[in-house]
Chains A and B, each alone.
Chain A
Amino acid sequence: MSAPLLQVRGLRIGLPGREDCIVDGLDLFVAAGESVGLVGASGAGKSLIARALVGLLPSGASVRAGGVCWRGQVLAGAADLQRVRGRGIAYVFQDAASSLHPLRRVGAQLRECLRVHAPQLDRRQMSERIDTALAEVGLDGARRWLDAWPHELSGGQRQRVMLALTLLPEPALLIADEPTSALDPVLARRVCDLLADAARRRNMGLLLISHDLPRVAEYCRRVYQLRDGRARLRIDDDAPHPAAAVLPSQTTSFGKDACIEARGLSLSHAARWRWPWQAAPAHTLDRVSIALAPGQRLGVVGSSGSGKSTLARGLLGLMPARAGQVRWFDQALERLDRATLRRWRRRVQLVFQDPFRSLDPMQRVDHMLLEALDYADPPLPRGERLPAMRAALVDVGLDHGALGRYPGQFSGGQRQRLAIARALATRPQVLICDEATSALDHETQDQILALLDQLARERQLALLFISHDLGAVARLCDSMLVLDAGRVVETGVPAKLLAHPESDALRALVDALPRAPARIQA
């Protein structure tokens, strides 16, 4: 075999003021036309590596040792990198929405790219190239897209425009850094398919960076796992693998008093007031009814934009109901006065998606738990607070040492445990999890799911688990509800629904499940 397209040898990347290296002796290679995956937990340094390959490390971070070879030649210095960027190595950023220039039309940005990388083309050839590039990423009817502003496009469309932009100079290698983590599974699958197609068609190398091992495993023949700053080969064959078995669920229990309930609840983000000739805007959530008794677990699934998070906000009383009502413990929420509502809030708690944003970075863990314990009713006597704080940590699998630390000193999974500890410290009867595991890597997801399962059982919590992760819902919940465009389209026992999806929405979600969850070597 000739020299691989890209070869990384003993790469070490350090941050200022730190002796140890985040990336500590990384070796990997990508051959021409080959798709290679790089997976790792959040914070493992994946993005740093991707940026180091194109010489775009964030300020402060530096390459301490090792280097990158491009077609057998060492890349050194800005001139080499400048030459390779774009036509050699193209880079798709994690957050495509913010990678497009907000003040220029899509067409202008595409043309600028071609002017830089293929100045020999005339106008007609240019627009042909652009049309084919847009068609390739599934944006047909190029005219319409060329005149669009980035803000007029949806997240998925922006991601595709970005992809077209990176494919225009015909790069030999495409580095995609978490290209799908901001997308719902249906879109994620489409983007991955697009990437794989484009790579196959032009014999382009593809380095797919993600925290989602099953997804990467489906598209890549070789997958490296990043741990402790080194890459370990995790997958290196093409053997097919049986699909992941869906765990059987517990039987549903009925006949208890609901502690949280929505009756024909409609919610809308649109302004209430409108001109008489304007059509009534569609509700974000349209006549949804649910009821949860203690110990019951309801999973809510749907692709992004289906109204899952809106349902959570409605149930928490953060959005006024346009129709129907929300009831807590058999009281209509809108009837409660402010003081009562505030006192009742502790009984219904929320776990957020992203533990990096839901914990106050300046609040030490003991203060955070103390604040939560303060809301307990009746209040705890002073002497019992410290034991209660320790117990709260032990319950979520953390040790006492965590009390004196700040959220920034924990990993993503530990932070989510902290967030759960905070939510449970007020002794709630209802726990709403809004995509509580979606921002975590797979191993951590498993642990958090097991933890939620155990805690919900021990405390007889009514659990509302919102997710687009069907596997998680099947594992945790005893009933399931599918939302599509704000309406309930299907309800039932998760295992049965997943085996025989009736609605289009659920079928799309089931089809989007990664099909090769791993030829994964231990």
Chain B
Amino acid sequence: MTFAERVAPSPWRQLFVNAAVGLPIGLLALLALASLLTPLLWPYAPGQPLWGQDLLAPGFAHGHWLGTDAIGRDMLARCMAGIGVSLAIGLGAGALALAIGGIVGGAAGYFGGWVDELLMRLNDLLSSLPLMLIAILLIALFEPSMWLLILVVGGFGSLDAARILRAEARRLRQTEFMLASQLQGATSFVQWRHHLLPNLAPVALTALGTVVPQAILVESFLAFLGLGPSERVGSLGTLLAEGVQDLQWAPWTLWVPALALALVLLGFGLAGDALRERLRLLTGSST
């Protein structure tokens, strides 16, 4: 039931303009912004070793607020760069997963019948492959790079996304507003553009809350195994792997990136949960 007599805000506002969703997204935006601005505002570069300044503990006196690692690289600069890399991989993989998952799941749910059977059985088939093994295999075969990681992790994420979005598309396909637009003479293209995609979008964004952290975790794990991107600037996972080696005499090289990773994951987790909750309220109140 609804209480429409009192004017409610638009569905998009209802989804996003509230503290439970806004705060975690604000936190993530703040982290991303900090990562982008650090090279401009911070005197040390992430990849540059400084002679004689190795293994400085966090503190303000020597200018390296979060300390330095075993070869004298500034931890704050590395951490911020790592957040940037991890976010880029996570969001890139998430976007790829939603794009593929949206098209495949949307088509399966919308057209149904043999299209649905074919796409979903294919999905089952691919889902049964072990993600980690394939990822390690591919990265061992090709030059490990950020793009390859995004492709592999995003590709695997798209399997889950397709399943979620197919269920939603199937539900939407049977709604009366879709029938109404069909009865007015809408083509499939028009139905996708005007009704299916806008209604899939909130669900897709909610799915992002699980796909992105998964991508970031997988990337961290691979980097931890030494299969991270070969770029000069490491991700948070690379930092963690190095931090473990220096754990005994420089614990900050582990806990600083670990904390950063936890913050990023927390942001996505909270945002996803809150979005799901809002969406439940929204669809519960509009049907």
Binding partners A and B: yes
B11 touches A361 (CB 8 A): yes
User: In the complex, what residues of A have CB within 8 A of residue B186's CB?
Assistant: 371, 375
CA distance A259 to B9 in the complex (A): 42
Within A339-355, the residues touching B (CB, 8 Å) are 342-346, 348-350, 352, 354
Q: Are B4 and A412 in contact (CB under 8 A)?
A: yes
The interface residues of chain A lying within 8 Å CB-to-CB of B18 are: 17
Say whether B8 faces chain A, with CB atoms less than 8 Å apart: yes
Nearest CB to that of B193 among chain A residues?
A: A371
Contact B7 A371 (CB under 8 A): no
The residue in B5, B181, B182, B287 that gathers the most chain A C-beta atoms within 10 A of its C-beta is B5
- Complex: how many Å from CA A406 to CA B178? 16
Q: Is B59 on the interface with A (CB-CB < 8 A)?
A: no
Q: Are B286 and A426 in contact (CB under 8 A)?
A: no
The smallest beta-carbon distance between A354 and chain B, in angstroms, is 7
A52 to chain B, nearest CB (A): 14
| Contact indicator B286/A408 (Cβ below 8 Å) | yes
Chain B residue at minimal CB-CB distance from A18: B6
User: B194 contacts which chain A residues (CB < 8 A)?
Assistant: 360, 363, 367, 371
Which A residues lie within 8 Å of B187 (CB)? 342
Q: Kindly state whether residue A297 has any CB partner on chain B within 8 Å.
A: no
A292 and B149 CA atoms in complex are apart in Å by 64
Interface residue tally for chain B (C-beta within 8 Å): 39
Q: Are A410 and B4 in contact (CB under 8 A)?
A: yes
Chain A residues with CB under 8 A of B181:
360, 371
Which one, B10, B184, B195, contacts A426 given CB within 8 A?
Answer: B184
Stretch at the interface among A39-47, A145-153, A160-168, A467-475: A39-47
- Residues of B within 8 Å of A29, CB to CB, are none
Known A15-B3, A45-B3; contact A408-B285, beta-carbon cutoff 8 A: yes
Q: A375–B181 Cα gap in the complex (Å)? A: 10
Whether the pair B180, A361 counts as a contact (CB closer than 8 A) is: no
Given A346-B184, A358-B180, A371-B186; A363-B2 close (CB under 8 Å)? no
Q: Does B190 contact A (CB under 8 A)?
A: yes
Q: Which B residues, 267 to 283, have Cβ-Cβ distances below 8 Å to chain A? A: 281-283
A350 to B185: give the CA distance in the assembly, Å. Answer: 12
Question: Chain B, 150-187, contact with A by CB distance < 8 Å: what is the 0/1 string?
Answer: 00000000000000000000000001111111111111
Tell whether, in the assembled complex, residue A42 and residue B1 are in contact, meaning their CB atoms are under 8 Å apart.
yes
Contact yes or no, A408 B4, CB < 8 A? yes
Instruction: Count A interface residues, CB 8 Å.
Output: 53
Distance of A97 from chain B, by nearest CB (Å): 16
Cβ A411 vs Cβ B4 within 8 A: yes
- A408 in complex: contacting residue of B1, B8, B199, B201, CB < 8 Å: B8
Asked if A405 lies at the interface with its beta carbon under 8 angstroms from chain B, I say yes
Chain A residue with Cβ nearest B284: A58
Answer whether residue A20 sits at the interface, using C-beta atoms and an 8 A cutoff.
yes
Whether B7 contacts A352 by the Cβ 8 Å rule is no
Determine if A5 is an interface residue (Cβ-Cβ < 8 Å).
no
Q: Please name the residue on chain B nearest to A60 by beta carbon.
A: B281
CB of B190 within 8 A of CB of A371, answer: yes
Among residues of B, the one whose C-beta sits closest to the C-beta of A48 is B1
Identity of the chain B residue whose Cβ is nearest the Cβ of A47 in the assembled complex:
B1
Given A43-B5, A409-B7 in contact, is the A356-B183 Cβ separation under 8 Å? no
Report if B130 contacts A (CB, 8 A).
no
Q: Please state if A345 and B287 are interface contacts (CB–CB under 8 Å).
A: no
Give the distance to chain A from B39, nearest Cβ to Cβ, in Å.
Answer: 40
A196 at the interface (CB under 8 A from B): no
As a 0/1 sequence over residues 97 to 124 of chain A, the CB contacts with chain B under 8 angstroms (1 = contact) are 0000000000000000000000000000
**CA distance in complex: A343, B184 (Å):** 8
- Asked whether any CB of chain B lies closer than 8 Å to the CB of A217, the reply is no
Whether A316 sits at the interface, judged by CB under 8 Å, is: yes
Residues of chain A in range 36-75 having any CB-CB distance to chain B below 8 Å: 41-45, 47-48, 60
User: Please, how many angstroms separate the alpha-carbon atoms of A371 and B178 in the complex?
Assistant: 12
Closest to B200 in A: A362
Within 8 A of B (CB), among A211-268: none
CA distance A367 to B186 in the complex (A): 14
A361-B286 in contact (CB<8A): yes
* Docked-complex contact A356 and B184, CB < 8 angstroms: no
* Inter-subunit contact B2/A408 (CB<8 Å): yes
The answer to whether B183 touches A350 (Cβ under 8 A) is yes
With beta carbons under 8 angstroms apart, the residue of A20, A318, A350, A372 that contacts B6 is: A20
A22 CB–B CB distance under 8 Å: yes
Are B185 and A346 in contact (CB-based, < 8 A)? Answer: yes
Q: Please name all residues of chain B whose beta carbon is closer than 8 Å to the beta carbon of A407 when the two chains form the complex.
A: 286
Q: Determine whether B198 belongs to the interface, using a CB cutoff of 8 Å to chain A.
A: yes
**A343 and B185 form a contact (CB under 8 A):** yes
**Interchain CB contact under 8 A, B5 and A411:** yes
Neighbouring B residues of A371 by C-beta, 8 Å: 181, 184, 186, 190, 194
Nearest Cβ in chain A — how far from B2, in angstroms? Answer: 5
* Chain B hits for A375, CB < 8 A: 184-186
Q: How far is the CB of B18 from chain A (nearest CB, A)?
A: 6
A96 interface contact, C-beta 8 A? no
- Counting chain A CB atoms within 10 Å of each CB, the highest count among B2, B3, B199 belongs to B3
Identify B185's interface contact among A345, A354, A422, CB under 8 A: A345
Interfacial chain B residues near A405, Cβ < 8 Å: 7, 10
Give every chain A residue within 8 A of B185 (Cβ-Cβ).
Answer: 342-346, 375, 426
> What string of 1s and 0s marks CB contacts (under 8 Å) between A395-427 and chain B?
000000000011111111011000100110010
A406 pairs with B10, CB closer than 8 A: yes
CB-defined contacts of B176 to chain A, threshold 8 Å? 352, 354, 357-358
When C-beta atoms are compared, the residue in chain A nearest to B195 turns out to be A360
Chain B contacts for A354, CB-based, 8 A:
176
A356 in complex: contacting residue of B6, B202, B282, B286, CB < 8 Å: B286
Rounded to whole angstroms, the CA-CA distance of A367 and B194 in the bound complex is 8
Are A362 and B180 in contact (CB-based, < 8 A)?
Answer: no
Give the shortest distance, in Å, between B16 (CB) and chain A (any CB). 13
User: Which of chain A's residues have a CB closer than 8 A to the CB of B190?
Assistant: 371, 374
B183 adjacent to A409 (CB under 8 Å): no
Other-chain residue from A43, A342, A350, A359 in contact with B1 (beta carbon distance below 8 A): A43
Q: Knowing that A47-B1, A426-B184 are A-B contacts, what are 4 other residue pairs whose CB atoms are under 8 Å apart, sorted by A's residue number?
A: A45-B3, A356-B286, A361-B11, A408-B11
- 21 chain-A/chain-B pairs, Cβ below 8 angstroms: A20-B6, A42-B1, A43-B1, A43-B2, A318-B179, A356-B286, A356-B287, A357-B175, A360-B198, A361-B286, A363-B177, A363-B198, A367-B194, A372-B184, A375-B184, A405-B7, A408-B10, A408-B14, A409-B9, A414-B4, A422-B184
- In order of increasing CB-CB distance, the 8 nearest A-B pairs are A345-B185, A358-B176, A360-B177, A362-B198, A361-B286, A411-B4, A342-B185, A357-B176
